[in-house]
């Protein structure tokens, strides 16, 4: 009787425990089943994709459009896109043929095309197909040395000659670089490491540099991991850069500016995404006495519809090398996110030149440490031959339609007794701030105005006008140093 009772008792306990066990583990079982199902589907999809690729059943690549009467393919000149074979001679032979024929289109087909630096020619289109990657060789012995830029006097990092760019051109006309979002990859990692360890004897080279050229169109290409500045048009006219993506690590990728117009005239930069290890865009025009002597300004430049991220510097900068002058600049419809600075103008005594007639419109700042910076003590000089009495002029700068959130310091406008900032205007500004100290809108040696109500409250150095342009309060002084934070 005792054994039978125990058996019946255990049977009842088992019946009670099973539903309890199943109920308490139902969520776990469901989760495990879901994960297993997802893994199985993913495996099947990968297997099918591989089978389709193997049998050639995948979606066909987009056909390369014919943009010139003469069309050549890189592979027809002996190039091999395996990422190992060095294809410099193939690029050179193909471009030589285009030069002899008076112009043409060079198609870079899908593959990884390793190359040393090469030169473009006039009346040429370089077309990168979908999944085409031009790889810059990371051995500096393959990179030619060029004379210093005449408006810089020395290499930007080292005296003497400088490394050329991966893709280069001088005195060209009618050059197009475009594609189906193919990639030009500078493989800059080894360059950055050697620079940090001071193992390079010359200034690093850009990824793309066109000099003394005009009628340039660059679009629908990704540029990544440049050894130095990424796109560097130098003393060029009539340049359009549209719908490009520029990428480099946000840290440990020194001086990897996105686009640096340098002594350029009549230029449009639009519809681009830039995430790099220095300035997203930096407008320049020469360095101290060399830039003053070269005397080629950057002017008539429009920058619009950009998304930029820079943890080291700023979304869009002017300077610090601006000795030839910078004028007639429009920056509009710009988003800068998760960055150190949004907008920056930087210069110093010894630069000379001017920054004037600059208009910023419709800027959005998301999680930016300092929104707007004007700095007049950026003291980097090529040598001791600069004139400290060569003082730049900064005037006629306007900011309209500034929005943002998570901004620590909305504006830091830092003039000096030697370099006062003249005729600056703020209108329609509302920026959510994260910094709780008193002086969050900072000014010194500034003359200008605020039109209408803005947030946060502006510094006392600026005149206040209502929306209709009626003067409400005149600034008591333009020389107050209203600073308590180093941005």
Please give the Cα distance from 282 to 317 (Å, whole number).
5
Asked if 184 and 166 count as a contact pair (C-beta separation under 8 A), the reply is yes
**Given the DSSP bridges, would you call strands 354-375 and 82-86 parallel, antiparallel or unpaired?**
unpaired
> Using alpha carbons only, what angle is made at residue 441 by residues 435 and 444, rounded to the nearest 5 degrees?
135
Give the number of other Cβ atoms within 10 Å of residue 367's Cβ: 15
Considering the candidates 260, 278, 288, 482, report the single residue annotated as catalytic.
278
> Using alpha carbons only, what angle is made at residue 266 by residues 220 and 286, rounded to the nearest 5 degrees?
100
**3-class secondary structure, 213:** coil
Asked if 201 and 154 count as a contact pair (C-beta separation under 8 A), the reply is no
Asked if 238 and 216 count as a contact pair (C-beta separation under 8 A), the reply is yes
The CA–CA distances, whole Å, from 295 to 234, 284, 298, 325, 326 equal 13, 12, 10, 8, 11
Establish whether 278 is a catalytic residue.
Answer: yes
Please give the Cα distance from 73 to 159 (Å, whole number).
40
The phi, psi pair for 39, rounded to 5°, reads: -60, -40
Please give the Cα distance from 159 to 382 (Å, whole number).
8
Please give the Cα distance from 459 to 473 (Å, whole number).
12
Burial of 16 (0-12, 13-18, 19+ CB in 10 A): exposed
**Given the DSSP bridges, would you call strands 463-465 and 471-473 parallel, antiparallel or unpaired?**
antiparallel
**3-class secondary structure, 466:** coil
Asked if 246 and 208 count as a contact pair (C-beta separation under 8 A), the reply is no
Where in 57-179 does DSSP place strands (E)? 71-73, 82-86, 104-108, 111-115, 118-119, 124-128, 132-136, 145-146, 162-163, 167-170, 173-179
Instruction: Find the length of the chain.
Output: 487
Please give the Cα distance from 314 to 339 (Å, whole number).
7
Burial of 270 (0-12, 13-18, 19+ CB in 10 A): middle
Q: Please give the positions annotated as active site.
A: 278
């Amino acid at each position: 009787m005792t054994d039978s009772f125990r058996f019946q008792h255990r049977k009842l306990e088992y019946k009670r425990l099973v539903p309890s066990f199943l109920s308490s583990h139902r969520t776990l079982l469901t989760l495990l089943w879901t994960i297993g199902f997802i893994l199985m589907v993913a495996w099947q999809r990968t297997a099918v994709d591989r089978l389709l690729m193997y049998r050639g059943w995948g979606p066909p690549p987009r056909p390369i459009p014919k943009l010139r009467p003469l069309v050549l393919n890189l592979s027809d000149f002996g190039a091999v896109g395996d990422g190992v074979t060095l294809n410099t001679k193939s690029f050179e032979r193909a471009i030589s043929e285009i030069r002899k024929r008076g112009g043409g289109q060079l198609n870079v087909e899908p593959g990884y095309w390793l190359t040393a630096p090469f030169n473009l020619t006039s009346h040429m289109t370089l077309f990168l197909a979908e999944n085409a990657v031009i790889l810059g060789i990371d051995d500096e012995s393959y990179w030619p040395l060029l004379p210093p830029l005449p408006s810089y006097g020395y290499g930007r990092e080292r005296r003497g000659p400088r490394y050329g760019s991966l893709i280069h051109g001088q005195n060209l006309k009618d050059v197009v670089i475009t594609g189906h979002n193919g990639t030009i990859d500078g493989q800059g990692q080894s360059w950055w490491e050697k620079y940090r360890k001071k193992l390079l004897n010359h200034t690093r080279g850009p990824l793309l540099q066109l000099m003394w050229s005009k009628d340039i169109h660059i679009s629908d290409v990704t540029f990544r991991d440049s050894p130095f500045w990424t796109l560097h048009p130098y003393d060029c006219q009539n340049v359009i850069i549209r719908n490009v993506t520029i990428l480099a690590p946000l840290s440990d990728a020194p001086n990897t500016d996105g686009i640096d117009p340098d002594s350029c005239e009549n230029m449009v930069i639009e519809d681009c995404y830039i995430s790099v290890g220095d300035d997203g865009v930096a407008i320049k025009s020469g360095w101290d006495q060399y830039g003053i002597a070269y005397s080629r300004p950057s002017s008539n430049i429009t920058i619009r519809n950009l998304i930029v991220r820079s943890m080291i510097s700023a979304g869009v900068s002017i300077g610090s090398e601006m000795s030839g002058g910078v004028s007639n600049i429009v920056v509009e419809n710009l988003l800068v996110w998760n960055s150190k600075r949004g907008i920056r103008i930087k210069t110093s005594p010894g630069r000379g030149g001017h920054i004037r007639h600059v208009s910023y419109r419709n800027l959005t700042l998301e999680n930016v440490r300092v929104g707007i910076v004007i700095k007049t003590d950026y003291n980097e000089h090529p040598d001791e031959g600069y004139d400290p009495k060569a003082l730049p002029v900064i005037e006629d700068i306007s900011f309209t339609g500034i929005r943002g959130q998570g901004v620590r310091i909305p504006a830091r406008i830092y003039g000096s007794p030697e370099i006062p900032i003249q005729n600056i205007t703020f209108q329609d500004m509302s920026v959510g701030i994260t910094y709780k100290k008193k002086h969050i809108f900072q000014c010194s040696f500034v003359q200008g105005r605020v039109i209408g109500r803005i947030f946060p409250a502006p510094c006392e150095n600026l005149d206040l006008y209502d929306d209709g342009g009626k003067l409400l309060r005149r600034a008591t002084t333009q020389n107050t140093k209203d600073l308590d934070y180093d941005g």
